[in-house]
Amino acid sequence: MTKPVLRVQDLAVTFTSFTGGLLQRHERKLRAVDGISFELHAGETLGVVGESGSGKSTLARAILGLITPGRGRVMWRGEELTGLEEEELRQKRKELQIVFQDPVASLDPRMTAGDIISEPLWTFYPNMARLQVEERTRGMMKVVGLLPNQINRYPHEFSGGQCQRIGIARSLVLNPRLLVCDEPVSALDVSIQAQIINLLQDLQKKLGLALIFIAHDLSVVRHISDRVMVMYMGQAMEVSEKLSLYRRPLHPYTNALMKSVPIPDPRLAAAARQDSWLTGDMPSPYNRPKGCIFHNRCPYRVKRCEADVPALRRMENGDWVAGHRAEELDLSI
């Protein structure tokens, strides 16, 4: 087995804010990412799923060095990224790229598609010949399914799906080895989503990229992922191989997410809600439940769950789960 290209060890990010007036200032700490560990190989896709606020984007930004983690390490091809000087980290960013959620909002409306895609080339290779930059830009447009003769068009002249293709071309123009896609399809029509997911999967195979694909719901990452990490309140509840996860989730939260997949038909959606396992809202991040962090919403909780924190542990089949009752519960779909 080859070595993983990315090793994330016990990564944690805490945001601090203050409430009250000058005389009664209270410090509040929000654990957005709380001890995440995983490994990723070249050519492999890790899906990351969880409700809004579970820490997915913060995790992505901490991995890429866009925010400084309070704890833990990010090892990229054997080298520790956490603690690198700004300039060293900037150089590494050639290899580590991100695709954002809202393609239209993330593109500068005053720049042409060609300018947007080629900007990273000018930043990292300011002496590159203009002709070479243009050739590479047109080449990237082809790779992502755009017409090279659209190079001088502006974002508003493209559809949402095409804008996301521009975003993907921009993130690939430096030949990265890791691509983090933070909800790359959630702002797109359902009919377009599959096209973009297929494109990313094709590109990943062709280029041997390590891919982290973030989404709200499990159905979106199913096709593209090799493994899936399910996050809740900054922690990993389960990290499982795709086949076992979709056949028999280990964690009640994974099971609940599967059962609460959005259903377009309102009548069917209402019926499904009655049968929903995901009751109540996520607790306030400032008031984290003791014991198992999911216990106040878990239909399987027992006394022990309210006091003992379940560690993320490896099951016999190699999957990981943070739950006391994983062996005895059969959550087969």
Ligand X SMILES: Nc1ncnc2c1ncn2[C@@H]1O[C@H](COP(=O)(O)OP(=O)(O)OP(=O)(O)O)[C@@H](O)[C@H]1O
Binding site for ligand X (CB under 6 A): 15, 30, 32, 50, 52-58, 216, 285
By rule CB under 6 A, what string of x and - marks binding of each residue 252-281 to ligand SF4?
x-----------------------------
Region near ligand SF4 per CB under 6 A, out of 57-65, 168-176, 192-200, 298-306: 298-306
Reported for 282-290, long-range contacts at CB under 8 A and 24+ positions apart, including other chains, are: 282/51, 282/53, 282/54, 282/232, 282/233, 283/233, 285/30, 285/31, 285/32, 285/53, 285/233, 285/234, 286/28, 286/29, 286/30, 288/31, 288/233
Q: Which is nearer to ligand X, 56 or 324 (CB)?
A: 56
* By the rule CB under 6 A, 197 interacts with ligand SF4: no
* By the rule CB under 5 A, 225 interacts with Mg ion: no
Q: CA-to-CA distance for 217 and 274, rounded, in angstroms? A: 19
Q: CA-to-CA distance for 204 and 292, rounded, in angstroms? A: 36
Q: Which amino acid is located at 246 in the chain?
A: Y
Q: CA-to-CA distance for 30 and 33, rounded, in angstroms? A: 9
Touching Mg ion, residues 42-61 (CB under 5 A): 56-57
* By the rule CB under 6 A, 310 interacts with ligand SF4: yes
Quote the least distance from Cβ 321 to ligand SF4, whole Å.
8
* By the rule CB under 6 A, 323 interacts with ligand SF4: yes
Quote the least distance from Cβ 52 to Mg ion, whole Å.
7
Q: CA-to-CA distance for 254 and 325, rounded, in angstroms? A: 14
* Binding-site ranges for ligand SF4 (CB under 6 A): 251-252, 292, 294-295, 298, 300-301, 305, 310, 323-325
